[in-house]
Structures are given as structure tokens and as C-alpha cells.
Amino acid sequence: MGMTDPEQSRRQFLAFLAASPLVAAAGFDRNAFARFIGESPDSPKRALGLAQHIAQQSAPQPPLITAAKDALDVFDFEPVAQQKIPIAHWGYLATGTDDDRTIQANREGFDRWALRARRLIDVSKIDASVSLFGTRYPTPIIINPVGSQKAFHPEGEIAVARAAKSQNHLQVLSTVATTSIEDAIAARGGPVWFQLYHQSDWAITRQIVQRAERAGAPAIVFTVDLLGGSNRETMIREARRDTRECIKCHLGGAPLPGISGRVDDRDNRRKPNLVGYEQQTPIMEVGTPTWEFIDRLKNATKMKVLIKGITTQEDAKLAVARGVDGLFVSNHGGRAENSMRATITSLPDVLLGAAGKIPVICDGGFRRGTDIFKAMALGATAIGIGRPYIWGLGAFGQEGVETVLAILRKEFEVVMKQSGTTSLAKITRDHITPR
């Protein structure tokens, strides 16, 4: 079948653009760009997306903000943070897996929904608070676990914990944080959940879990989407551009955090949650975890046990059957598998499996109050953010994190008012529609 006139015109335009000096000026390889044209039905669409990106890169850019208070949205923090954070560390933050298209898919997923605003409802007072396991927070915005935060700012997770205290947000601390669970809870002045990565020795895993419980963590969040590793090309490319010698932080000196996509237990000098445990008789794991591991984890603690990385109805049903206390619908911000499936798209599927029996938290690509509203309308209990608050941290430390949280809360509450919803319970599927 021949191409229609619009298709032919688009290909001709993209071929012209491929030869343009703008492509090289924006940092793209001309030959690679040209190959997009004609490879598959989706290739012109991808090339057109690149063309739009080139146009954005070539257009005059607004000046970078010089203070957190000057930010209009969370995106204003990204270029400032990129300027301040070392190249390799930025690559660790920015990377997805393979060609990073699941990161893009996460953002595009929100565009599939439009809002159905309601009028003439008294919205002079609204309540955006949510209760999670008996603790009430003023917003459904959770500070998700991100590892190695001192790679982005000297105070790292401590600055984030203080921001969480200031804004009264739930914080989830990573296993591979550069701050201990004890210090994070002290800085937060309240409950901090602990995110758990699988270790090769169950004797160590058990001690990590017991330590988090002793420290006062009310919940543990077991991450399951990196058990097969992750192909982080962007991270590796950016690290190769970094000429620093980082002997104090990295084995061999090369600044390659997260190189394997799995927890690397060879060098934990900057990972306080992975050191300081008793030498016990090893109980080595055989293979990667199965649902049996969830049973073992629940039997090892009185904390609530949640699973992070569930994206299907089938796995949600299995989690409920195993007595799991909650789920995070997550693809690790597009850095686990390159599924090309947005988490906002996976959310309804997981909610069907959970059947209203446990909290379901969604993360992945949340950047606007409208994004949060759409997830709540679909049925999420709360949402998690990662990169945006790290942009704030890298740009302006604690103040940057606080401002990111404040902007998202303000945007979300504005959408609630525009939609005529005075509480989270009032936000329903009737407030959104497919585009």
C-alpha cells in the first residue's frame, strides 16, 4: 500500500530536516536521525518527536532561575540541577533503560486523559489529605526512594528529610541511600518508610529489615522490578564523559554509580544501610526471589510490607493473596524494563487485581498537579515522585526540595478546585475522560 499524501509530506520534511545543520547543532547524529525515516511505521513518528526536540533546543532558552522562589513549575529546577551536578551523577539520575523510551512513555501516558471540570461547587475549603496506615499526610504526594542522594548535594537525604518534615510529607528511604535510616528518621522527626533491595544473603537481609524496624520505620517497601538487572545506556555514556577520579566513592575511581542496575555489594563505603551487621552463618539465596520470599519477609517483621514494581492485575492478585499490605505501581521511573507501558496506564490494571483491599500508590513521570489528579481519579491512593525533588535538591538543597513539593501541592489543589472536588474521596473517574 502506498503512502498517503500526509505521510509522504512528513517523510519529505523529515528528510529535509535530517540534512539541516540544526540536527548537528542540537547534538544528534545525522545518519542515525535519517535512519529513523522509513524503518517502520513508528519511525517517522519517532523522528518527528526528535524534530520537535531539535526545534526546542534551537529556540532561545529562558535564563536559568537563580533562587528556588523564582520557579514557576518543577521543570525550572532541572537545567539548574544539571548545571550543578557532575556529569556521571547526572547520567545516573537521568537514565532509563535501553533507549530511555519508557521514561518518555510515562510522561505521554498522562496525555491520554483529559479533565472534565465541574462548576458552581463551593471549593473555598478543600482537604487534599490522605491516611496511610494510620498516619495522615496533607497531600497524597510521597517522596519516593532515590539512591545516592549525596551525589546530587552534600546534604543528600538529610536535606530531603528536613524538607519532608517542613512540608509534612511521607519519605521513603532507599537501601542504597547515602544516609542511614536512623539519621533520616531523626532529620525527618517522624516516620520514614524503608525501601528494600534484595541481597544475596538472607542473613544480611533479615538484619537490614530488623534494623529498619528498630529505627522506627513503620513500613518496608520491597522493590521487585530490578531483580533482572537494567541496561542503563544513558548513564554509561554520561559517565564516560566524566574525567574525574573518584577513589573516595567508587571502586577503581570511575564515577559509575548503579552500573549494574542491581545493588553492588563490593563497595559500600557510601551506603550506611548496607554495613555494620553481625557476621552470621550465611543463608545464601538460590536464584532470584519468588513469592516465597514475600512470605519470608512478612514473617521477619511486624512492619507493613509493600511491594514496589507491580504493573499487572495478575501480580496484584497474587500480592493480595500473600497478605501484602500495599503496592507501588512502578517501572522504576523508566529505568527497570523498557516496557513502553506508562505506569498511569498500568494503574487501572493493578487496581482491578487489588480490588480495593490494599493501598495502591503510583509513581513514574509525575511532574504536574494535573498528573496527580488523573492518577487519583483512576483510583490511586497516593502518588510518588523521584526526579523532580532531586532536581530541587541538586539546584538549591533543602529549599529546592521544599519548593518542588509546594509547587506540586499548589498545582494539585488548583486542579481539585477547578474540578469541583473538595476532598480526595470526591475525585472519581467521572472527572476524567479519554482524549
Residues belonging to the active site? 332
| Main-chain dihedrals φ then ψ at residue 340, nearest 5 degrees | 65, 20
DSSP 8-state class, residue 201: B
Spell out the residues 6+ positions from residue 180 whose beta carbon is closer than 8 angstroms to its own. Answer: 272, 273
Rounded-to-integer distance, Cα 3 and Cα 5, Å: 6
3-class SS of residue 179: coil
| Cα dihedral across residues 103, 104, 107, 108: positive or negative | negative
| Cα dihedral across residues 150, 57, 103, 39: positive or negative | negative
Rounded-to-integer distance, Cα 251 and Cα 269, Å: 10
3-class SS of residue 377: helix
Residue type, 423: S
3-class SS of residue 142: strand
CB 361 within 8 A of CB 380: yes
Return the residue matching grid coordinates 544475596. 200
Question: Beta-carbon neighbour count of residue 364 at 10 Å?
Answer: 34
